[in-house]
Amino acid sequence: MAALRDALLGAAADATVDAHKRLTDVIGGMWVTRPTTLRCGISSRWLCMQLFAALRMNGGTVVLGAGAGADALREGLLVLPLPPTLPASGGLGETSMNLHSEPMCARVLDELGWRQVDSSSANPSNDPIFQLLGTCMKQGAIAGFGMTTSIKGGILELAFAWYLIRSVHLDTPAGKPGPTLAASLSALSPKGFRMPERAASEHLVAYAGFSCLGAAASPAGPTDLHRRSAPRVLQRGPDGKRRQRDRHRAPRRVGSIRAAGAG
């Protein structure tokens, strides 16, 4: 039994290495070395950037436009059949999926995406997500999947959230805390603005952004987000005096992204 187990584990490990190598070649070609125009009419480079944005800013959930999902399957970027959708013109409709159901694809997109972020450290205009958001500000939508539909956030909110996530990624030394709030926000602060003293000692911790829509309290209890959005109600205490307390409930809409927490 031990020999069989070792053989199965070895075969799985070899298959994982092969799948990673194949997808790195496929996605690297579509994104960096051999970008082409897909049948659906969008650039393969932009499709890969949009998928990376969905991983980092929307929990992996993406809405693939009509034809984009079929192209992603045809090019080998995705492997599993896409969920069925209502038929649209030509029999192709938008498809909602979560990229974490394709773990190797998600892993390679993350690796290549962060590599692009690293290479843009001196020039944020080359950052893949900033490029997407800049295009979205001009056009109102992003080809391949509707970011404004998928993420449901204002573009400037998303840009600010990504700025924080990107700052943590680029400015965190190995084995040390992330950048302080003061260091990260100084470039965005108006001249003469004085931050609270605590901003110089609180560090950012951020890896991804998530939509706040429909957010509910975790099993550990309400977060600061819920406390800030909870209405205040007055109740009488044992001594007969009226006191304020929070009524915790999920926010209707506090913001589009909860991207970072100070720790």
Cα–Cα distance measured from residue 70 to residue 178, given in angstroms and rounded to the nearest whole number: 40
121 and 230 part of one domain: no
Which residues on neighbouring strands pair with residue 141, listed in sequence order?
Answer: none
Q: What is the pLDDT of residues 234-249, one digit of tens each?
A: 445 555 555 444 443 3
Asked if residue 28 belongs to a domain, the reply is yes
70 and 134 part of one domain: yes
The predicted structure's pLDDT at residue 251: 33
Q: Which of 46-60, 145-159, 216-230 has maximum average pLDDT?
A: 46-60
Whether the Cβ atoms of residue 209 and residue 165 lie closer than 8 Å to each other: yes
Cα–Cα distance measured from residue 57 to residue 151, given in angstroms and rounded to the nearest whole number: 8
Q: What is the pLDDT of residues 83-105, one digit of tens each?
A: 665 444 444 567 778 899 999 99
Whether the Cβ atoms of residue 233 and residue 245 lie closer than 8 Å to each other: yes
Beta strands in 35-143 (DSSP E): 61-64, 95-98
Range of weakest confidence among 136-145, 166-175, 214-223: 214-223
Asked if residue 124 belongs to a domain, the reply is yes
The predicted structure's pLDDT at residue 25: 95
Cα–Cα distance measured from residue 91 to residue 66, given in angstroms and rounded to the nearest whole number: 9
124 and 242 part of one domain: no
The predicted structure's pLDDT at residue 54: 87
Owning domain of residue 261: 173-188+200-263
Closest CA to 71 of 100, 51, 42: 42
The predicted structure's pLDDT at residue 170: 95
Please give the backbone phi and psi of residue 43, each rounded to the nearest 5 degrees, phi first: -75, 140
Q: What is the pLDDT of residues 101-133, one digit of tens each?
A: 999 999 999 999 999 999 999 999 999 999 988
183 and 104 part of one domain: no
Closest CA to 72 of 20, 110, 109: 109
142 and 263 part of one domain: no
109 and 33 part of one domain: yes
- SS3 letters across 82-104: CCCCCCCHHHCCCEEEEHHHCHH
Asked if residue 252 belongs to a domain, the reply is yes
Closest CA to 96 of 45, 124, 59: 59
Alpha carbon of 71 to those of 55, 161, 255: distances in Å? Answer: 19, 30, 33
Cα–Cα distance measured from residue 181 to residue 158, given in angstroms and rounded to the nearest whole number: 18
206 and 139 part of one domain: no
The predicted structure's pLDDT at residue 259: 33
263 and 142 part of one domain: no
The whole-number average pLDDT for the span 205-232 is 56
Question: Cα 117 to the chain's mean position, in Å?
Answer: 13
Asked if residue 5 belongs to a domain, the reply is no
- Total of domains in the chain: 2
